[in-house]
Amino acid sequence: MIRYIRWCAYFCALLLLALLVNIARVQVWESAAYGANPANKRAAIERYAEPRGDILVDGRPVTGSRDSGQLLRYERTYTHGPLYAPVTGFSSQTYGTSFVERAEDAVLSGTDPGLSAFPLWYDLARGRPAGGNAATTVRAAVQRAAYAGLGGKRGAVAALEPATGKILALVSSPSYDPSVLSGTGTQAKGAWTALNEDPARPMLNRALRETYPPGSTFKIVTAAAALDAGVVTDVDAPTRTPDPYPLPGTSTLLPNAATGCEDASMAEAVQWSCNTVMAKIGVQVGLRGMVDAARRFGFNTEGLRVPSWVSRSNFDTDMSLDQLALSSIGQFNTTATPLQMAMVAAAVANGGELASPYLVERTTQDDGSPVRRGDRRSLGRAMNPATALRMQELMVKVVENGTGKNAAIPGAVVGGKTGTAQHGVGNAGTPYAWFISWARTEGAALPAVAVAVVVEDASANRGDISGNGAAAPIARAVMEAALRAKPSA
Amino acid sequence: MTALTAKVAEPSPPPPPQAGAPKRRGVELALLAGAVLISVLGHLHVGLATTGRIPDPADRYAIGLAAAALLAHLAVRLRAPYADPLVLPIAVLLNGLGLVLIQRLDATTPGHPTADGQLLWSALGVVLFVLVVALLRDHRVLQRYAYLSVATALALMLVPVFFPAVNGAHIWIRFAGLSFQPGEFAKILLAVFFAAYLAANRTALALTGRRLFWKLRLLPGRVLGPILAIWLLSVGLLVLERDLGTSMLFFGLFVIMLFTATGRIGWIAIGLLLAALGAYAVGTFEPHVNSRVDDWLNPFASIERGEGPGQLAQSLFAFGAGGLLGSGLGHGQSFLIGFAAKSDFILATAGEELGLVGLTAILLLYGLLVARGFRAGLALRDPFGRLLATGLASIVALQVFVIAGGVTGLIPLTGMAMPFLAQGGSSVVTNWIIVALLVRLSDCARRPRPAQEAAE
């Protein structure tokens, strides 16, 4: 019997060995696959176990964290949700993150290796550092002015500091409160459905992600291209343009909304927004010259990130001359994001140098010590410095004695350009009112701000006057706020 | 009956080469101190990790565990001085760890505290341990109660059939707010019966009967009857009570003890064949069992169906999350497993929070306990004692294999309690009695023989 007891013992040893091999398989071999299974809630539980770091505007948090007591514990709150939604985006247990919440997620959620001097320590201690903060370049006063200016009308505002590319304001209207998407409950699900089904599309970030035909504001690009290419050497010389202008190769006549455009100079054409003159100049510059100029300003560029991605602004690269003529006045297939048009204004104001726009000034640890600084870089030269000076003069005239008088600010040098973009089949849609501008305090060396404003439901009053009427006052309020705010460090 | 009692009176077989082992009670005391220390540190760690402060009944837990260990040690020292010094410390350590794990899981289910109840049951288990060690001076006495044992075991197993099912299985008796599983107690009684029956009939089983072919012999009905009865009983139980685990345990226990008694591989083959037939029939026709097998074959099927992870998937996630070193006591998420986390799935918490390293240590503790049981069986001189020790060790081994293999996806999952670790009063009490019997058997195995004692 002794022998058989030994056999039983060996059998039990075999069972034990099978168990040990199997747990080694499960805990080492399969561990990563199990951890990556989307049904495994552990990663999400850990992610939301600590309060999320904050997004700062003017050094003050515009976000917060609320202990929900649920499995995914800390939920996001927003102090001025609709105001900053295009900047912060949302952070939702159910729907993930967007915009700065997404771009800086590693820092905010505490997983960024830069948050700890000794990342290995947290591995050993089985913890992780507290979530860091993301300080934005947005100035609260500028943002509020833009938001209030739009007043709930559909539209968007983008404001930049021309020399650095700092985004001072990013507003999309109508907006929404990202707080409603926090958490996992039916409330969040209902809010998500409602927001997505809302015909006003409140979750669309119009400043970064919607492209509009830029209309007459694009004439700045055309004028700069003409000066750079030497097509126009004297801005005050008559251009011998008929009114209306027959589009090359067609019998279509391009009319003007403004009067006195016949044979006008380029300076007058910009000042009064003459379609005929600028279309003709665009044709004279030629397709290649216009495409190159548009590209230098940032059109046709994929993958611009601020750090959230920005939709591509378009200037067609293969067109007939009549299409080129229409494109040169911001029609046909030419489309631009509000941020792109703010970049156009900023390039003019900054002496032709185009700074890359950016939204996150720096990221810091919980205690304020820096993790990373925002990337201040140049996108290159959009035009010659001499051309930029000419263009500044032309844009100043628009505000002083042209179509953009509503943007004038006492004590400041303001340059601007109005635009009314027609869209829809046969221009059936309501026109978009545009205004792009820049401003500097009299005597100051550097311009403080460049702005692009677009209002979708502009009044039916067609013509450049609607850019002046609907969009310019908003731009003025934004510029005033930027000029008043002390310059950022 | 006469055959059984006659066996007791038989003279002992010739003495083994070594006549007795050192007592090693000091070693046992030191190991017990270590076991209590590890458990108390685990208790404190869970409190600090889950609430950030020392757990409230820390002194009660520490003193209670130390007192229980000391009491059990005194009983062994006085009444079983030659007992194996490893058995009791392993039991205390496993029970202490079980209490830590249950306390840890209590922290995530504040509405259902179970640690205090488990502590009471453990105390009762230790009391029964002391009583068995103190009152049962010679294990051979049990041989006399073989038929009483099997009658009681059958009665205990049948009673839950008349009680309402809990979570799909008729294995509980709920009475006056208490619930216990009579099947747990029945397994000791069955081991006693098998040991006694086989010790008495092993010659007949091994040698008599009409020869069928090769070495296989058909047994006379008188001897075969009880065996078939047991097999039918195990399958019948499974169907009636939907308790796959217990019937597998009984059947495996029976086959192992039959093999030990007779040494006939043919019996194993027949046993496995019968088991396979029974398992196949039940696995096919019983939906409760059928779904378990489906879960085992594809634990993530419910995820693919969009119903979220099932218990087995959650258990595998927990083991996987533990990895090599574990998340640390109190830092895991094994509560995601759901309602059976403290009972059937307690090992997943150990796997997640102590890691592969900790889990291996726990399984090796069981292995050591089982090995010590077999060792007592090897050293004992009477067939009943040998078979009983083998049977008790096999019960522990089979239970560990069935439940650990189930929750880690090695074999289909069957509801069963991890000895000492899992929450469940009847299980803890039963395992303490098994340990008491092993202590008694090892004491007898290592005790110097009377002739030698006289000579000293």
pLDDT band (50, 70, 90) for residue B182: confident
Alpha helices in A298-384 (DSSP H): 321-328, 338-349
**pTM as predicted:** 0.77
Q: Beta-carbon neighbour count of residue B284 at 10 Å? A: 11
Which residues of chain B make contact with A8, given a CB cutoff of 8 A? 256, 259-260, 374, 390, 393-394
Q: Any CB–CB contact under 8 A between A6 and chain B?
A: yes
Which residues have C-beta within 8 Å of that of residue B136, sequence separation ≥ 6? B142, B436, B437, B440
Q: Any CB–CB contact under 8 A between B351 and chain A?
A: yes
Q: Report the DSSP beta bridge partners of residue A378.
A: A355
Q: What pLDDT is recorded for position A247? A: 87
Half-sphere exposure of B270 (CA within 13 A, CB side): 17
Range of weakest confidence among A17-31, B227-241, B373-387: B227-241
User: A98, A116, A182, A216: which one is catalytic?
Assistant: A216
Separation CA B444–CA A367 (nearest Å):
68
Q: What pLDDT is recorded for position B5? A: 47
Alpha helices in A48-185 (DSSP H): 81-88, 99-103, 105-108, 119-125, 140-150
Using only C-alpha atoms, chain A has a radius of gyration, in whole angstroms, of 28
Q: What pLDDT is recorded for position B6? A: 44
| Residue to test with chain B: of A40, A72, A184, most B Cβ within 10 A | A40
Q: What pLDDT is recorded for position A153? A: 85
Chains A & B: contacts with CB separation below 8 Å: 138
pLDDT band (50, 70, 90) for residue B211: low
Minimal-distance CA residue of chain B relative to A45: B333
- The mean pLDDT value of chain B amounts to 84
Q: What pLDDT is recorded for position A248? A: 84
Q: Any CB–CB contact under 8 A between B309 and chain A?
A: yes
In a domain, B172, yes or no: yes
Which structure tokens are listed for B174? 């709920």
> How far away is chain A from the Cα of B224, in angstroms, using its nearest Cα?
21
Half-sphere exposure of B107 (CA within 13 A, CB side): 24
Which residues have C-beta within 8 Å of that of residue B159, sequence separation ≥ 6? B173, B182
Which structure tokens are listed for A369? 């010590």
Separation CA A472–CA A408 (nearest Å):
9
Instruction: Decide if A30 and B359 are in contact by the 8 Å CB cutoff.
Output: no
Segment B50-86, tens digit of pLDDT: 888 888 777 888 899 999 999 999 999 999 999 999 9
Q: Edge-to-edge, what's the strand order for the sheet holding A449-455?
A: A167-173, A155-160, A449-455, A432-441, A412-421
Separation CA B157–CA B185 (nearest Å):
9
Which structure tokens are listed for B198? 């086989």
Q: What pLDDT is recorded for position A115? A: 80
Q: What pLDDT is recorded for position B1? A: 41
CB B114 within 8 A of CB B102: yes
Interface of B with A in 233-292 (CB under 8 A): 256, 259-261, 263
Which structure tokens are listed for B194? 């098998």
In a domain, B188, yes or no: yes
Sign of CA dihedral B45, B47, B52, B56: negative
Which residues of chain B make contact with A34, given a CB cutoff of 8 A? 316-317, 319-321
Virtual torsion, Cα A113, A116, A118, A124, nearest 10 deg: -80
Q: Check whether A487 has a pLDDT greater than 60.
A: no
In a domain, B216, yes or no: yes
Q: Check whether B385 has a pLDDT greater than 90.
A: yes
Q: Beta-carbon neighbour count of residue A305 at 10 Å? A: 14
Q: What pLDDT is recorded for position A459? A: 56
Which structure tokens are listed for A201? 């599309």
Q: Any CB–CB contact under 8 A between B179 and chain A?
A: no
Q: What pLDDT is recorded for position A170? A: 93
Half-sphere exposure of A258 (CA within 13 A, CB side): 24
In a domain, B163, yes or no: yes
Q: What pLDDT is recorded for position B425? A: 86
Segment A438-464, tens digit of pLDDT: 998 888 888 889 999 998 875 555 555
Which of B261, B328, B397 is facing A12, going by the closest CB pair?
Answer: B397
Q: What pLDDT is recorded for position B74? A: 95
DSSP assignment of B426-447: HHHHHHHHHHHHHHHHHHHHHS
In a domain, B407, yes or no: no
In a domain, B149, yes or no: yes
Write out the residue range of the structural domain in which residue B222 sits.
Answer: 140-287
pLDDT band (50, 70, 90) for residue A301: confident
Which residues have C-beta within 8 Å of that of residue A146, sequence separation ≥ 6? A157, A159, A169, A171, A453, A474, A477, A478
> How far away is chain A from the Cα of B431, in angstroms, using its nearest Cα?
18
Q: Check whether B179 has a pLDDT greater than 80.
A: no
| Residue to test with chain B: of A3, A4, A123, most B Cβ within 10 A | A4
Segment B118-171, tens digit of pLDDT: 888 999 999 999 999 999 989 999 999 988 988 888 888 888 777 777 666 667
Segment A11-32, tens digit of pLDDT: 999 999 999 999 999 999 999 8
Task: For residue A322, give the nearest of A244, A272, A421, A253 by alpha carbon.
Answer: A253
Q: Check whether B177 has a pLDDT greater than 70.
A: no
Instruction: Decide if B336 and A41 are in contact by the 8 Å CB cutoff.
Output: yes
Provide ipTM, 2 decimals: 0.90
Q: What pLDDT is recorded for position A305? A: 87
Segment A266-300, tens digit of pLDDT: 888 888 888 888 888 899 888 899 999 999 999 99
Which structure tokens are listed for B300? 């993530």
Number of domains in chain B: 1
Q: What pLDDT is recorded for position B78? A: 94
In a domain, B270, yes or no: yes
Separation CA B302–CA B427 (nearest Å):
31
Q: Report the DSSP beta bridge partners of residue A172.
A: A156
Q: How large is the average pLDDT for residues B378-399? A: 94
Q: Check whether A122 has a pLDDT greater than 70.
A: no
Q: How large is the average pLDDT for residues A298-311? A: 88
Which residues of chain B make contact with A12, given a CB cutoff of 8 A? 367, 370, 374, 393-394, 397, 401
Q: Check whether B295 has a pLDDT greater than 60.
A: yes
Catalytic residue flag (residue A68):
no
Residue owning tokens 């930029």 = A388
**What does DSSP say about strands A133-136 and A55-57: parallel, antiparallel, or unpaired?**
parallel
In a domain, B272, yes or no: yes
Instruction: Decide if A42 and B390 are in contact by the 8 Å CB cutoff.
Output: no
